[in-house]
Structure 1
Amino acid sequence: MKKSLSALALGGLGIGITEFSMMGMLPDVAQSLQVSIPEAGYLITAYALGVVIGAPLLVVAMNRLSPLKTLITLMGLFTLFNGLSVIAPDYGLLLVSRFISGLPHGAFFGVGSVIASRLADPGKEAQAVATMYSGLTVANLFGVPLGTYIGHHFSWRYTFLLIVVVGILTMLALKLWMPKMKAAPKNNPWKDFGIFRNVNVWFMVLLFSVAPGALFAWISYIAPLMTEVSGIADKYLPYIMVLAGLGMFVGNLIGGKLTDTFSPTKVVVAVLVVQILCMLAIYGLSDNVGISLVMTFLTGVTTFALVPSLTLLLLNSVKSDAEMLVASLGPACFNIANALGAFLGGVPINQGYGYTSPALVGAVMAALGIVISLCYIQRSKKQPTMDNKEVLEDAVGQLS
């Protein structure tokens, strides 16, 4: 693996720990700040909203900086804002710090994915992008369980301190390993927002904003689901997160192979159907410990099996010289799903329907994703879409 790609993956690791550790620490944060678990869940929503707002704005605003300076600046902001979470004295300030720490998230991945493509050996652009995103997978497999363990046994503030350390290491790695590249400023970078006149962009925005919401409706409240419904002692929560992370790791591999074999739209629909079945099983069978553990793994598989196919759909549906802005739409809209899933999943809990009820919310969001996908398929029959390789080669060519 090239050191430059390792630096990007390290950034993905820090971002992954930031985004997902909160799910496993919700009871600890809620108790520490004396708020309810659904209220603590809004900390997840705040971060996701920061990603959505920051992704397109920061990508365009930093147009005149070189790619290296852009990445280091974004990671510097990410590190600083997570540092504020370490010292936040109350719920309100922690909510603010979570929001602003999400701002650089999507922009980092948007810029990083294009740079990874440029650094790749010929014909291996997609593998380079996957290497960068592997940091998220490793975060779910190891970083998040470690963060959950630290948050539960010591303090959730130490988990944010760990994130700060990863952020500093990422900036050093970028400085040492990332080759310098010239900036390619545009006279009016804000014109890039013209991509939103493309109807396909809005299909992708809608699909990315809804379908992954099933994941976040479920995993945002996985801690109380396991302890209050399945009867698993809270000391085992880190291992539950490892199990979910392992499912996501396996699902990412399976999703990639399925998407290489079949069309992305077919894979999206099929995976969402299986995801609905998983959510219904969680709702009805989580009082059985064995079944609950199996469903934790299988649901992790289905949720991340969706990622490669959704990414290819985005690449296939939009062709533009605003490649970094287009690339940032994926993580931005993925976090709209994060916000919606976490928020909507907390609504039935507040109404007294219990900790299995978010799974029904997840099932509904997956079903809506199927409807959107079928509408897009119908539209695609009337419009030829580009091959993914052609899109990727075009994006790399724009940077050359």
Structure 2
Amino acid sequence: MNLSINKKTAYIGCLGVIGIISTEFGVIGILPQIAEYYKINIGTAGYLLSLFALSIALTGPFTVLYASKFDKKKIMMYALGLFLISNFFSIFNPPFWLLMILRILPTILHPAFFSMAIAAATKDTSPQMQMRLTSIIIGGIALAQVTLIPFTTFIASIYSWRLSYGIQGLVILVTLVITYKFLPPMPNKEIKSFTNQLNILTRTKFIVGTAVNLFLITAWFCSYGYFADYLTKAKGLSAQEISYMLLLFGIMGVMSNLVAGRLLGKYMIMTTVFFIAGTFLVPFAFQYTNNSLISIAIVVSFWGIMYGPCFLIGVGHMVSAAPDAKEFANSLQTSFGNLGVSLGTATGGWFINQFGISISPWVGIGFGGLAIIMTLWRAWLDRRIHDSKEIV
């Protein structure tokens, strides 16, 4: 595969991620409306996010191990097809239990899309180019927060929350057509044994990197999962103002994601610690600002900057510890990242139900502390490996 095809694959993968992540996280902006429509509390509505993520966490590694035997292009198309079906039927305001099933349906191949896209885009490239191409694909997460998520939230505030599913489905459909027309077949010519790939689970460095990924994303989703509800009830913003804040949040996330992508390859530990620090600083920023739109916008901007690279940081820590099993490592990053989404959303929802929405920004601090500890442990392991090589 030549570099032009690698880049084409990365950008198509990025477009697919925009549609997929908008389906996964776009519900954050419309949770208050869904809760009102179905006459349920916000914590129960939050299951639409947490159970989606939990399903990915539980099934992801197994589906990716199985899917890795097949043509990468076909797996990417099957994944997009499931998301298209999910979005289409969600438009028709089904009962809440059916909406939940439709949400869970595409999680079967969610991690496989990420793994296949990254593996296809980075095939036969240098380590530095691999991180750049990976950052393009993962950058779709931040781009979704700039484009589809705030746009669908804005449309939902004017018309209906159901329209957000229609818009997300349209983007998925366009990506599906582009993937079919412009990506070449990508048959798997090198079938790796399950045993060799599973061996990475015994590496301390990989386990620690997994913990960094899990705790960092959990810390952020204790609060980000209830972004709209917090800004509505605690800060008094309207639905349209929240859509503007989501747009601002996403723009800051895109910029910080690009910067972090360049820094992680050179200063992984320092970059990680810097962005984890945001989980401690954002709650204080909200605590000591008034409810003016300008001050809220400043804090939301800072929040977006610090949150933006969290998924990329997870990829960096886990894939760098398993260069010989990248597809499986990517799938585990997606699975444990989504476990963090589920754990963070569920934890945040429990505290909100017990103590009110104002507690939301503070819940993630404990997980942020655990992420710091794991990062320092990773630094110690890297140093020990480096010293042992020098002695040899």
Query: Please, what TM-score do these two structures have when normalized by structure 2?
Result: 0.90
Q: Which amino acid aligns with 2:187?
A: K
Aligned twin of 1:316: 320
Please, which runs of 5 or more residues in structure 1 have no aligned partner? 386-400
Please tell me whether the aligned partners of residues 63 and 184 of structure 1 are also in contact (alpha carbons under 8 angstroms). Answer: no
Q: Which moved more, 1:289-298 or 1:139-148?
A: 289-298
Aligned counterpart for 1:8 among listed residues 13, 17, 21:
13
Query: What are the superposed Cα offsets for residues 195-245 of structure 1, whole Å, 9 maximum, x if unpaired?
Result: 212222221222111112222122211212212221222232211110111
Q: Assess if the C-alpha contact under 8 Å between 2:10 and 2:117 holds in 1.
A: no
Aligned to 1:104: 109
> Is the Cα–Cα contact under 8 Å of residues 265 and 377 in structure 1 kept in the other structure?
yes
Partner of residue 373, structure 2: 371
Alignment-derived partner of residue 388 in structure 1: none
Tell me which residue corresponds to 1:303: 307
> 2:365 & 2:295 partners in 1: Cα distance?
18
Alignment gaps of 5+ in structure 2: 388-392
Q: 2:210 aligns with which of 205, 214, 239?
A: 205
Letter in 1 for 2:45: A
Alpha-carbon RMSD across the aligned residues, in angstroms, is 2.4
Maintained 8 Å contact 2:46/2:346: yes
Alignment of 1:1-400 (within 5 A): 2-87=7-92, 89-118=94-123, 124-184=129-189, 186=191, 188-189=193-194, 192-261=197-266, 263-285=267-289, 287-320=291-324, 322-351=325-354, 353-384=355-386
Structure 2: distance between partners of 1:289 and 1:122: 43
Task: Report the alpha carbon displacement of residue 187 of structure 1 after superposing the two structures with TM.
Answer: 7.6
3-state DSSP of counterpart to 1:337: helix
Alpha-carbon distance in structure 1 between the residues aligned to 2:11 and 2:379: 36
Identity %: 22
How far the C-alpha of 1:30 sits from its partner, in A, is 0.6
Tell me by how many angstroms 1:358 deviates. 1.5
**Quick one: structure 1 residues 384 and 310, their matched pair in 2 at CA, closer, same or farther if it must change by over 3 Å?**
farther
Seen in structure 2, the aligned counterparts of structure 1 residues 315 and 62 have a Cα distance that, compared at 3 Å, is closer
Contact 1:48/1:335 (8 A) holds in 2 = yes
Q: 2-side partners of 1:25 and 1:13: how far apart?
A: 17
Cα distance in 2, alignment partners of residues 91 and 23 from structure 1? 16
| CA displacement at 1:169 relative to structure 2 | 1.6
Q: Go from structure 1 to structure 2 and tell me whether the alpha carbon gap of 1:12 and 1:196 turns closer, same or farther (over 3 Å shift).
A: same
Report the residue type matching 2:347 in the other structure. Answer: L
The alpha-carbon distance between structure 1 residues 162 and 120, as it changes in their structure 2 partners (threshold 3 A), is: farther
Aligned residue identity for 2:274 = A
* Residues 140 and 198 of structure 1: CA distance in aligned 2, closer, same or farther (over 3 Å): same
Q: Which amino acid aligns with 2:357?
A: Y
Q: Assess if the C-alpha contact under 8 Å between 2:91 and 2:162 holds in 1.
A: yes
Change in 2 beyond 3 A, CA 1:187/1:303: closer
CA drift at 1:120: 6.0
Kept in 1: contact 2:210–2:314 (CA 8 A): no
Contact 1:214 1:359 in 2 (8 A): no
Alpha-carbon contact 2:139-2:257 (below 8 Å) kept: no
CA distance 1:272–1:5, shift in 2 (3 Å): closer
In structure 2, do the counterparts of structure 1 residues 57 and 142 end up closer, same or farther at CA, with 3 Å as the change threshold?
same
Q: Using the alignment, how far apart are the partners of 1:305 and 1:121 within structure 2?
A: 22
Alpha-carbon spacing, 1:260–1:122, altered in 2? closer, same or farther (3 Å): closer
Change (3 A) 1:117 1:43: same
- Deviation per CA, 1:120-159: give whole Å up to 9, x if none: 6996333222222232222110110111122222222221
1:234–1:121 distance in 2 versus 1, CA, 3 Å: same
